[in-house]
Structure 1
Amino acid sequence: MNAEQLAHKFRDKIAAAVVEKEKQTGIAAENIEKRTADSEHCKRAMEREVIPFLSELKHHLGDQFSFASQIELNDHRPVGVSFTIGSGAPTSITTAFGNIIVTRAGDSGTARGTPYVYAPDVEPYISNSGDLTRDKMAKLVEMVIDD
């Protein structure tokens, strides 16, 4: 290739990148409403299901159970929670744009302090705001107790 061909190839690549950026910007704009709604569903589920369940568990287990909410700075609503049973490792549930991530430090044979991420397609099957229920939280706590 000569210099002119290389320059033409570079300009074509830049033009394609501009088109792709505009496309991705459009997709992001279209999905902002969905992400905002998903985020809202997660916060509502945390407030209505998860935190009341963990509060009830704290009542029954006393000093053997502790939990703390993770609060969003903008609206002071819960976006996550961490809990510990006995002297076990902490388990965390965090939400971001409708995605749920459940982790446990030092679980499943990993080194102490190394987080284990529960896959969304295996027990306790927590992957979206609809999974933040008392039943799923109870299953997660049962799994933690069993480990």
Structure 2
Amino acid sequence: MDAEQLAERFRQKLSAAVVEKERQTTIAAENKDKRTADIEYCKQAMEREVIPFLEELKHHFGEDQFSFSPQIERHDHRPVGVTFTVGNGAPTSISTAFGNIVVTRIGGSGTRKGVPFVYAPDVEPYISNSGDLTRDKIAKLVEMVIDD
């Protein structure tokens, strides 16, 4: 390749990079709207499904056998997650981040703090998005915690 061909090749690569950057910017903007909507759906599900169900559980178990505390978003003071404990067991947390749901539980490890265990979204209790924040799925999670 001579100098002119190399310069042309470089210009083509720059043009392709500009097009790709614009494409990625468009995708990011589209996904931002989706993520924002998912965040809202998660907050609504926490308010309508999860927290009322956990309040019922606390009533039926008794305060000495079941406790929970919501994780509140600091800007709008709405729930974005919750941590609950059954009996003397380890805490279990349901957290939402950009519409994604993460369910973790602290397990024994021989250490004082324990090791966090993350429930995969594609195995029981199958909690992976805002549509999974239902009474049935939370009940299944509590059942799994009791059985462990």
CA distance in 1, matches of 2:71, 2:12: 47
Matches within 5 A, 1:66-145: 66-106=67-107, 113-145=114-146
Percent identity over the alignment is 77
The alignment partner of 1:123 has SS state of coil
Check 1:110–1:2 CA distance in 2 against 1; reply closer, same or farther (3 A cut): farther
Count of aligned pairs between the two proteins: 146
Check 1:5–1:67 CA distance in 2 against 1; reply closer, same or farther (3 A cut): farther
Q: Is the 8 A contact 1:106 1:114 kept in 2?
A: yes
Check 1:142–1:18 CA distance in 2 against 1; reply closer, same or farther (3 A cut): same
Deviation digits for residues 42-82 of structure 1 (CA, Å, limit 9, x no counterpart): 10000000000111111122211111111111111100000
Matches within 5 A, 1:18-57: 18-57=18-57
Q: Write the letter of the residue equivalent to 2:47.
A: E
TM-score by length of 2: 0.84
Q: Is the 8 A contact 1:110 1:116 kept in 2?
A: no
Gaps of 5+ in 1: none
Superposed CA RMSD in Å reads 2.5
Bigger CA drift: 49-58 or 16-25? 16-25
Q: Write the letter of the residue equivalent to 1:31.
A: N
